[in-house]
Amino acid sequence: MAEPVLEARGLRKVYGDHVAVDGVDLALAPGGSLGIVGESGSGKTTVARMIVGLTRPTAGTIAVCGRDRSQPARGTAERRRRAREVQIVFQNPYASLDPRRSPADALDEVLRLHTDAGADERRARIAELGELVGLDERMLRARPRALSGGQRQRVAIARALAAQPRVIVLDEAVAALDVSIQAQILNLLADVRARIGVAYVFISHDLAVVRQIADETLVMQRGRVVERGPTEQVLDDPRDPYTRLLRASVPGPGWRPVRRGAPTTGGAT
Amino acid sequence: MSAPLLEVADLAVTLPVEGERRTVLHDVSLAIGPGEALGLVGESGSGKSMTARAVARLLPGGAAVTGSIRFDGTDVTALRGGELRAYRRSVAMVFQDPRAHVNPVRRIGDFLTEGLRLRGVARAEAARRAVAALADVGIPDGERRLRQYPHELSGGLLQRVMIAAALLAEPRLVLADEPTTALDVTTQSEVMAIIDELRRERGLALLFITHDLDLAAAVCDRIAVMYAGAIVEERAAAVLHDDPLHPYSAALAAARPAVDRTLPRLAAVRGRLVSAFEAPAGCAFAPRCAHAQDRCAAELPPLRPLDGGAVRCARAEELRGRLAPQEVAGG
Ligand SMILES: Nc1ncnc2c1ncn2[C@@H]1O[C@H](COP(=O)(O)OP(=O)(O)OP(=O)(O)O)[C@@H](O)[C@H]1O
Ligand SMILES: Nc1ncnc2c1ncn2[C@@H]1O[C@H](COP(=O)(O)OP(=O)(O)OP(=O)(O)O)[C@@H](O)[C@H]1O
Ligand SMILES: [Mg+2]
Ligand SMILES: [Mg+2]
């Protein structure tokens, strides 16, 4: 692959005596798209947080555009550059937005911080970003509390795009959207990638969505990568037993929910 | 269906926004019997969460409600004091966003056992039941989890804590707002199987809000589709996906990506979504509908019975059988 835009080696994170991430390697080509799927609690968000610098790895290295960022940034300029290069859209659209600030103000702040656009240009850019993710003027002026879950998530995506990053980490970014808006956002993400060559790390529990957006996919279980490969291969011909179980659990015609663990209610603990 | 446990009729809700009243729900009617599961799907912002919150009597301040919400025959819109508390014990809500509905400085254990303790269960027994409930939702190391704070849990773990809390309350009705979106599909399967069991064994009724039509089809008896504050179709879960009666339901089915093949492009619905308060006089979906005619913009049709379900589309009979998902996807 071309010089990777993002490369992580031996990533590890320990909380107390709990190993949340246990030796994860990953590489992302410029304009590439990497899916991460797997068990709930397997360390996907922790990996995402380490990539964007919100959580410090216990061990391992992370480089973006060839520059190491395993150590905390020194100085404002360095911090700002790191923030611009990698943006994140969180799993949870509620917590990630400032409740006192309208989406337009939030976008304006990002544009002021990361670009040298003047007021008029910023205003135009905000309208354009709103249009891009399907937020109208009224929604752009609303308080986050008055927006539905899916509307807030579009604000978060617009904010990530505003900084014109090299990598966007999307952690369950489309899970809160209805399928027609989700289709719109997935098409949009594909278009933006084709147009400006931004790369994605796309974390999701929805294997169909991952298939649509990611060229390569990692499968995580208990802090480790248990399988990796081209997305179609991982989904159509899973090798690892956990990947097979995951693939078999996707609802579809004829599917019924099943309980694997022994029932424990009322049992001795 | 036996006498419904929950019966919502002509529900409308307005909220005060910047000094004016804004409609968020304008016509919602639905019924759920004991042991029954009704799926609620639809556009983001169409009012699914508001519907659940209205039933749970947890609407934002200043909300004005018309229509009726009956639980076990009693209208709950006017309940107060002790009666309201008793009602709330029969109805459990699993919120769409657990992190916003849990106190960040309280341990998981206190959160899970609080209701049991109020009901007079001894501390050790309450903890034992909480650990068992966590094991039920696929969290084996319950004792450790009880000592943790919400920020120490992943999204899916916290969501399961919420489901465990709802089930520990032994409610008669669960309002589950996207309860499994933060879960991996294997865990989702387990959690849904537990809810299935409770429905069969204890007659638990379920309102299940989701964006996953395949999941709703598998775990629900019927599915209601919402658009701009109103229900536009209600059908048996088994037929909605393949034989939708409303063009919006068909568009939803067509927009879904597939796990077994990669599509060149997804079939998004053209046009911009509308909120209930800005919906035009006629059918709210008409501006985006490939099948709309002049009369669709003139008048909003009522939800009327058709093919064993109900639909709110003036052209439903004519379009019957022509809305299969493949056709829309190609169009
Ligand atoms: N701040 C923290 N303190 C202690 N433990 C933590 C902390 N953050 C995460 N963990 C633990 O690390 C593990 C991995 O969590 P993470 O959020 O990365 O999982 P995930 O794969 O994103 O799960 P999900 O699919 O449910 O979002 C979990 O067991 C979680 O409880
Ligand atoms: N506190 C509030 N004040 C005013 N309007 C609100 C408030 N909360 C929600 N709304 C509006 O009410 C409408 C319905 O919101 P609701 O949360 O029920 O949507 P939803 O169908 O659950 O959507 P999603 O699938 O995105 O969760 C939305 O248009 C939203 O903007
Ligand atoms: Mg996560
Ligand atoms: Mg909602």
**How many domains, chain A?**
1
Q: What pLDDT is recorded for position A261?
A: 60
User: Nearest CB to A183: which of B132, B181, B267?
Assistant: B267
Q: Please check whether residue A248 lies inside any domain of the structure.
A: no
Q: Please check whether residue A261 lies inside any domain of the structure.
A: no
Q: What is the mean pLDDT of residues B107-136?
A: 94
Pocket of ligand 2 (CB under 6 A): A 145-150, 178; B 15, 17, 24, 44-50, 60, 96, 275
- The listed range with the strongest mean pLDDT (A153-157, B20-24, B267-271) is B20-24
Strand partners, B233: B225, B311
Q: What is the ipTM of this complex?
A: 0.87
Dump pLDDT digits (tens) for B124-174: 999 999 999 999 888 989 999 999 999 999 888 898 899 999 999 899 999
Q: Between β-strands A224-230 and B6-17, what pairing exists: parallel, antiparallel or unpaired?
A: unpaired
Degrees (nearest 5) of the Cα angle A68, A69, A70? 100
Pocket of ligand 1 (CB under 6 A): A 15, 18, 20, 40-46, 91; B 151-157, 182
Q: What pLDDT is recorded for position B42?
A: 92
Mutation to test the A interface, candidates B25, B211, B249, B262, most A Cβ within 10 Å: B211
- Of B189, B191, B185, B193, give the one whose Cα is nearest residue A207: B185
Q: Please check whether residue A132 lies inside any domain of the structure.
A: yes
Domain boundaries, chain B: 6-105+149-328
Q: Provide the mean pLDDT of chain B.
A: 90
Range of the domain at A142: 6-237
User: Nearest CB to A259: which of B157, B182, B194?
Assistant: B194
Taking the CA of residue B47 as reference, the ligand 2 atom at the shortest distance is 18
Tokens (6 digits) for A93: 């659209």
Q: What pLDDT is recorded for position A266?
A: 32
Residue A86 CB neighbour total at 10 angstroms: 25
CATH of domain B6-105+149-328: 3.40.50.300
Tokens (6 digits) for A150: 């899916």
Q: Between β-strands A167-171 and A86-89, what pairing exists: parallel, antiparallel or unpaired?
A: parallel
- The listed range with the strongest mean pLDDT (A82-86, A177-181, B204-208) is B204-208
Dump pLDDT digits (tens) for B281-308: 889 999 889 999 999 988 889 999 999 9
Contact across the interface for B262 and A136, Cβ inside 8 Å: no
Degrees (nearest 5) of the Cα angle B131, B135, B141? 70
Mutation to test the B interface, candidates A180, A181, A249, most B Cβ within 10 Å: A180
Residues 250-269, chain A, touching B (beta carbon < 8 A): 250-253, 255-261, 263-267, 269
CA of A217 to the centre of ligand 1 (A): 20
Dump pLDDT digits (tens) for B173-210: 999 999 988 889 998 998 899 889 889 988 999 999 99
* pLDDT band at B95; cut points 50, 70, 90: confident
Q: What is the DSSP letter of A263?
A: P
Q: What CATH number does residue A223 fall under?
A: 3.40.50.300
